[in-house]
Structure 1
């Protein structure tokens, strides 16, 4: 009888330990840095650019886009149901408030849940460093090379000195220097889902400019979406006088 009790005790201990080990393994699988590779909502794909999440062992988490960290919060995982709950302390309340069902496939972690009438699937991939977005590469100093408007080169009137510059600062303000009318200032923002930069000038009558952008090595190409203007700039590392 004593041997039977001892055997049952050993078995129970083994089962409890196995469950704890499995829970730990799953939590360890979630721990680390992840980039969002794909977001599907119904038949639509809505994948943000350079969206990442970092899950820490102490059940805290941080997230952001590119070089910007914008959210902090907590996470919890239930092994028996494979449900992951993610909360942000400084964000908008999740109106659906449902956890995600989690599956793992190779280096990917796949989340699924229902949001209203839509099935949502988020695919994440484990990475070693925070991803850089194309928008991050815009920061810095650029020299105007060519300016076309309505198919005509207009650099001679806007940039007669050939020293006009665009300075895109880390605080999302911009400076236009060496323009015939003097220095100009404003603010800019980039889009979370496409290569777009919007610029608004600081002036009594603000000027709005919207561009699709493309980076080719040290060149920046801007194609206006609210006028017929195309601009080519080259990265430089010091101000021109």
Structure 2
């Protein structure tokens, strides 16, 4: 029997349960290995053999193969009046953070009638917020990276409507900016940005007031800081000689 990986993201009792089922392969990467639904169907076949025939399920990892497998699983579960949350299924298909782990725990609870201790409720969006909060501030994702991390390409393929994907991207961006603003509020002295010329002009507009003498813009004053002196440089141009002699 294959050994359990060091870090599965699953509770210990769920790991032992998976090992006892003697699956065709052990999930080394929960998020990846459960995304196409094949392993879930194999788990369900141990309890409902007649309704989950493994030869009808695809081992492929394409979006169409995943959607076909999960559609069959949902139809078969309905025969037994069992249901899995649509958000968890979609999150598992698109390999969203935490979705597959929660889905496997839900399957475990349904099939064994056992509860799992210290399990939080499923997130509504399955973002990488929890992971980002564990990182140092400078190592966290930028706005563009946050959108790439939380809006998968398979999501865009599954829902090709442009306006829908734009709303998802705006929601991710809004959440990213909120977290960034909250971090700045908690650490106001973290970003020490030197004042540039534009900021000085905004604070001291009298220093840059226009006048008849152009040199007055650079004159020294008590509000503009240190005095700056300029020296005039005169350049003597050589006399051009005619190329033709008349």
TM bracket (short chain): under 0.3
| Structure holding more strand per residue | 1
What is the TM-score with the length of structure 1 in the denominator?
0.19
State the structure with bigger RCO (CA 8 A, min sep 6), 1 or 2.
Answer: 1
What is the TM-score with the length of structure 2 in the denominator?
0.19
Please tell me whether Structure 1 or Structure 2 has the larger radius of gyration of its CA atoms.
2
| Structure holding more helix per residue | 2
